[in-house]
Amino acid sequence: MRENIEVRARKAIEQLKPYSPGKPIWEVQRELGLERVIKLASNENPLGPSPKAVEAMQAALTELHRYPDAQTLDLKQTLATHYDLSPEQVLVTNGGDELITLVSEAFLEADDEIIVPSPTFSEYAFGAQIMDAKIVVAHLKADFQYDSEAILTAVTDRTKIVYLCSPNNPTGTFLPRTELKHILDSLPEQVLVVLDAAYSHYATDEHYSDGTEFVRAGYPLLILRTFSKIYGLAGIRIGFGIAHPSIIQNILKVKEPFNVNALAQTAAAAAVGDAEHVQRSQTLVFAERERFYKALETLGCSFTVSMSNFVLVEMGEKSAVIYEELMARGIIVRHGKTWGLPHHLRITIGTPDENECFLKALSDILDTGNMHA
Ligand SMILES: *Cc1c(COP(=O)(O)O)cnc(C)c1O
């Protein structure tokens, strides 16, 4: 191979690093020669996809020579009915991640500013970086609760988008309805608020809002939703947005025609109608979340109470070692260093059996005699 290629990429992407996802199960199996690997790293639904979605996909297989519906009409109608909206307020995308990229492309000029909470999901910053826009950070409070005043003081006349992730990944904390309304009422009219509600099905606090009520009320708000989490369809890539039709219209201008494949469309429509699968998945997380808390307390680990299907645990100086020790035992979790939280681990709530294995392994490791890394 030649030493150098002279073709230069755009300046805006020079500092970008490819996203680093949680390690897949097969990779850990191969690297460590382990038979059983438990993945508690990507907030997936351990119960799998909705059986109704699987059935719908199987029935659609023989039609795969046809292009998918570019307008996702059936699914939009299904979602509109489910959320009591009109189809013009709904936009379907190739995962929630694509929606973030599309919003960035549609709304960000170079040097515009986005405000992001910190720590949070990394894709908001990514969207700004590819557009050469600036990222302004509004830190969460020390206990990881939202700080609305920090967000509002970060606003300048270049602010174009304010991202709010509620429940927030990786902390599991949320923005209460009154604070969300306060932020919406205080922002200048030309600022778009993107509320990422990827984990809203797991939020049990009565003060939680998934934001839909504020879209109905006409605020310049875009809600991001995904089929990757509770619906168990991460592998097929589908998500959606809810907003005022004029916001949707602008995003549609930059969307590729066939961004959402046919299997994903049919699976998602079936999954929305599978209330039983959603309920089973919620029941699992609600019960297991409590068990996590109890076990972590017994082990003397401090954690942040979560409105989501993961728990952020503080492990102190030893957190990297604990991460490696868990990995050596075939348990994949997420180390906090990606979010600037080197003393934390984020653990997805799995099946009762998977959680048992994790808690047992953690208890073993914390028994310092067993720490050999
Ligand atoms: C998982 C996730 C998404 C969307 O993921 P997709 O798989 O692209 O739909 C969006 N926001 C947050 C905070 C997430 O954790």
CA distances (Å), 267 to each of 61, 237, 331, in order?
11, 11, 29
Closest C-alpha to ligand 1, atom 11: 198
Closest C-alpha to ligand 1, atom 2: 198
50 lines ligand 1 (CB under 6 A): no
Number of folded domains that form the chain: 2
Three-class DSSP category at 77: helix
How confident is residue 367, by pLDDT bands cut at 50, 70 and 90? confident
| Whole-number pLDDT of residue 14 | 86
Claim to verify: residue 156 and residue 136 sit in the same structural domain: yes
Between 302 and 6, residue with greater pLDDT: 302
Instruction: Pick the last residue of a domain from 274, 289, 323.
Output: 274
Measured in angstroms, how far is the CA atom of residue 96 from the centroid of ligand 1?
Answer: 5
169 lines ligand 1 (CB under 6 A): yes
Claim to verify: residue 142 and residue 210 sit in the same structural domain: yes
Claim to verify: residue 81 and residue 225 sit in the same structural domain: yes
How confident is residue 233, by pLDDT bands cut at 50, 70 and 90? very high
Measured in angstroms, how far is the CA atom of residue 228 from the centroid of ligand 1?
Answer: 7
- Tens of pLDDT, residue by residue over 116-170, are 999 999 999 999 999 999 999 999 999 999 999 999 999 999 999 999 999 999 9
- pLDDT above 80 (res 368): no
- pLDDT above 50 (res 245): yes
Instruction: Pick the last residue of a domain from 258, 274, 290.
Output: 274
44 lines ligand 1 (CB under 6 A): no
| Whole-number pLDDT of residue 268 | 98
How confident is residue 373, by pLDDT bands cut at 50, 70 and 90? very low
- Alpha carbons 329 and 346: distance in angstroms, whole number: 17
Residues 345-365, mean pLDDT to the nearest whole number: 98
Cis preceding-peptide flag for 188 (omega within 30 of 0): no
Measured in angstroms, how far is the CA atom of residue 72 from the centroid of ligand 1?
Answer: 20
Q: Nearest-CA neighbor of 205 among 167, 148, 169, 171?
A: 167
> What is the residue-averaged pLDDT of the chain?
96
Q: Which residues are paired to 113 by β-bridges?
A: 134, 159
| Whole-number pLDDT of residue 223 | 98
The best mutation among 45, 163, 229, 308 to test binding of ligand 1, ranked by most ligand atoms within 8 Å of the C-beta, falls on 229
223 lines ligand 1 (CB under 6 A): no
| Whole-number pLDDT of residue 24 | 87
- Alpha carbons 179 and 275: distance in angstroms, whole number: 30
- Domain membership of residue 6 (yes or no) is no
203 lines ligand 1 (CB under 6 A): no
How confident is residue 370, by pLDDT bands cut at 50, 70 and 90? low
- Domain membership of residue 4 (yes or no) is no
Range of the domain at 104: 51-274
How confident is residue 6, by pLDDT bands cut at 50, 70 and 90? confident
Measured in angstroms, how far is the CA atom of residue 226 from the centroid of ligand 1?
Answer: 6
Residue 240, both tokens: 């959606």
CA distances (Å), 176 to each of 71, 85, 164, 165, in order?
34, 22, 11, 12
How confident is residue 17, by pLDDT bands cut at 50, 70 and 90? confident
Which of the residue ranges 10-14, 102-106, 188-192, 211-215 would you say has the lowest mean pLDDT?
Answer: 10-14
CATH of the domain at 188: 3.40.640.10
Instruction: Pick the last residue of a domain from 274, 302, 320.
Output: 274
Claim to verify: residue 231 and residue 314 sit in the same structural domain: no
Residues 68-94, mean pLDDT to the nearest whole number: 98
Q: Nearest-CA neighbor of 122 among 350, 315, 340?
A: 340
200 lines ligand 1 (CB under 6 A): no
Residues 242-270, mean pLDDT to the nearest whole number: 98
Which of the residue ranges 9-13, 208-212, 336-340 would you say has the lowest mean pLDDT?
Answer: 9-13
Percent of the chain exceeding pLDDT 90 equals: 89
| Whole-number pLDDT of residue 43 | 98
Between 290 and 14, residue with greater pLDDT: 290
- Alpha carbons 25 and 36: distance in angstroms, whole number: 9
Claim to verify: residue 39 and residue 117 sit in the same structural domain: no
The best mutation among 42, 44, 169, 310 to test binding of ligand 1, ranked by most ligand atoms within 8 Å of the C-beta, falls on 169
Closest C-alpha to ligand 1, atom 15: 169
234 lines ligand 1 (CB under 6 A): yes
CATH of the domain at 329: 3.90.1150.10
